[in-house]
Each structure stands twice: as C-alpha cells, then as structure tokens.
Amino acid sequence: MLDNIYKELYNIKYKEIKMKDKELKDLERKLLLRYFEDGVVDIYIGYVVAIFGLSILFDMAYLVGAFVAVGIFIPKILKSRYTYPRRGYIKIREAQRSGFAAVLLGVFMAGTFIFLLFGMGTSNPMVAFLRANMVYVIAVIWGGALSVVAAWRGIKRFYGYAAALAFAIIASQWIGSMGLNLLGSGVLIMASGLIMLWMFTRKYPILREGID
Amino acid sequence: MAARESGTAGKGTHGIDRLIHAPARLVIMKTLYLLDEGDMVFLKTETGLTWGNLSAQVSKLQEGGYLEVVKDFVENKPHTIIRLTEAGRAAFEAYRRMMTDFLE
C-alpha cells in the first residue's frame, strides 16, 4: 500500500520534472526559431540544391564538393553582415550543433548506402528494386532530410521545401530533367530565403552596442 | 567578494538566490542558459532592457561569478560576448529546482 503511494508520488514528480524540461526545450526552440527568421539557412539550402542540379545538368559532378565547400561561408557572411547587427550574435549549444552534424551524417550515410548497394550487382533483388525506383529513393533522401530538420527545429516552411523538392525530383520522370528540376527548386528556395532576408532587414533596424 | 563569487552571499529568504531572482537578471540567465554564448545586442533584443540597465545587470552577474564577459572590437565598434560560467549554469539549475520546490 505504502509502496504504491511512493510509486505514485514518484511518478507525479517525474512527470513534473519532465514537463519543466519540456518547457525549457520549447523555450529553446522558440529562441532558435526566431534566429532562423532571417532566411539565411534557406538561401544556403537553395544554393546546395541548385549546385547539385547544375552538376547533373552540365555533367560536372566533380565540382559539387568544391562549390558546396565554398558555399559553407555563405551563412557566415550573411549572418555577420545582416543578422548579427540586428538581432545579435549567438552560438548554439554543443548538443544542438551535434544534432545538425547527425542530420548531415545521416544524409551522407544514406548516400553511401545506396552507392554500396549499387556495387552489389543487379542479381540482388533489393538492388534491382532500388535501381528501378531510383528517382523515388533520391526524393525520399532529399525530402526526408529536410523534413527531419523541419520536425527537429519546428521550422514549418521546411516541410514545404521538402515536399516541393520531392515533387520536383519525382516529376523529372515526366517533365524536365533531374538536373533542371533540382536547379529550379534550388533557385526557388534561394529566392524564398532572399525575400525573407529582405523582410528581416526591413523589420529589424541595426543596433549599435550602447546606443539606444 | 569571495563569498559572493561562491554564490552564498546572494542567498535570501528560503535560500533563494537573490542574484538570479531579480526579473532582469533572471531573463538574462535563462536566455544564456539555453545557449553557449551570445552578445549584448542579442541580450538587448531578447530582454528588452535599456543598454544602461542591461550593462548594470550583466556586471552584477559577472561580479557574482555567474557570467564571463569578453570585450572586443569589430570594425572599430565595441562587441561584447557573454556566456554563463559553470558556476552560473549550476546556480541557475539550483535556482530552478529551488523555485519549483518552493512554489509547491
């Protein structure tokens, strides 16, 4: 009887602690969400997608790595130029940064898995199935990666990007080509990010430390 | 000063940490608790405090050993980066627990 009461009390306390942790997590999410309203991440995602599209279109896959590596500086430059003077600078916590790395690693591993799968030869029914549905596999990887970020960060517009990108990839079977559709999607996502950045600069004036 | 840095001098009624308990300082602590670091512009936009008030509250928390403040210049303009110290992080967690227990 007493054991049950203790268990019940423990459960109540445990739930309360969990709830308060959740409140803090929600707060953290809101804080970071405000920091993503500048559209800089959107511009970078659009850039990466467009570069993939261009590399397929002009058959220059060897340049993807170089372009994506150069593009890593885009968010840093834009944040320093437009975001930090208006909303201030923050460094997100290590756990959050590790989360981003995990998403990137996930996409990389999915790509490697497909690559290895193709090396197994067509006699394998799994490989044959994936080869026959390659477009859908690519759509799931791109759309899935963006959806994971959307769910994890609570950035709802990323669901839209994920759906648009998956649609553009699948539609390449009937309209346009994979390269052209990726390029188009990337340019659209970049444009959306640029509009957000423009609105952001209009909404928030530049602040100088110590000057009201 | 030494007592203050250890966080004991700030303890008020029921052991509540008065250094954190003031609303402006509580918002600063809560905001920084969620990050690795942030600058003064960010704290200003998040807290809505005036520069003078923000600077005064940050100084108090820094004196208490809860914040680490790094002053720098970017393009000839002052740029101050602030982060919670380990003591500050622990103090905020203790404050959260204390307030939760106290209100129950």
Q: Which residue of A has its CA nearest to B51?
A: A210
Tell me the average pLDDT across A39-66.
85
**CATH number of the structural domain spanning residue B71:** 1.10.10.10
Task: With CB atoms and an 8 Å threshold, state whether B36 touches A211.
Answer: no
From chain B, pick out residues whose CB is under 8 angstroms from the CB of A204.
45
In tens, the pLDDT along B14-30 reads 678 888 888 899 999 99
Exposure letters A44-57 (e unless 16+ CB within 10 A, then b): bbbbbbbbbbbbbe
Where in the sequence is the domain holding B21, given as residue range(s)? 2-103
Mean pLDDT on B88-95: 91
- Greater model confidence, A145 or A9: A145
Q: Which of residues 15-44 of A touch B (CB under 8 A)?
A: 16, 20, 24, 27-28, 31
Contact B36 A16 (CB under 8 A): no
> What are the tens digits of pLDDT across the range A91-110?
877 666 666 667 767 766 77
Number of domains in chain B: 1
Report residue A129's pLDDT band, with 50, 70 and 90 as the boundaries: confident
- Whether the pLDDT of residue A25 is over 60: the answer is yes
* ipTM confidence: 0.77
Model pTM score: 0.75
Question: Over chain B, what is the mean pLDDT?
Answer: 84
